[in-house]
Amino acid sequence: MYAIVEIAGQQFKVEKDRKVYVHRLEAEEGAQVEFENVLLIENGSDVKIGTPTVAGAKVTAKVLSHLKGDKVIVFKKRRRKGYQKKNGHRQYLTQIQIEAIQA
């Protein structure tokens, strides 16, 4: 059984007991969070597709930790003009563990 859920503006395919990295959530570590923007639920051969969401469906998860992602280097250059610009970025992430999918 899996579901496709919209979390913080992105869509994720989630299954029970799977760990997922999402954009930083405003919940504390160890807290339970519920996501109600379930776009699709698949259970064996039974598939429910939402219009735009599946009515009454929700996914519960536990917040494991807050962390920062890998550094991404942005380097811009114009040849023969002496223009160079280097910038780095680390995204704030939250690791969650999916505990239940309710249809």
Residue-range domain boundaries for the chain: 2-102
Question: pLDDT for 60-87, tens place per residue?
Answer: 999 999 999 999 999 999 999 999 999 9
Residue 103 has pLDDT above 90, yes or no: no
pTM reported for the whole predicted model: 0.84
Tell me what pLDDT residue 22 has.
96
Tell me what pLDDT residue 40 has.
95
Tell me what pLDDT residue 23 has.
96
**The token pair that represents 56 in the structure block:** 């009454």
Structure-model confidence comparison of residues 73 and 103, the more confident one: 73
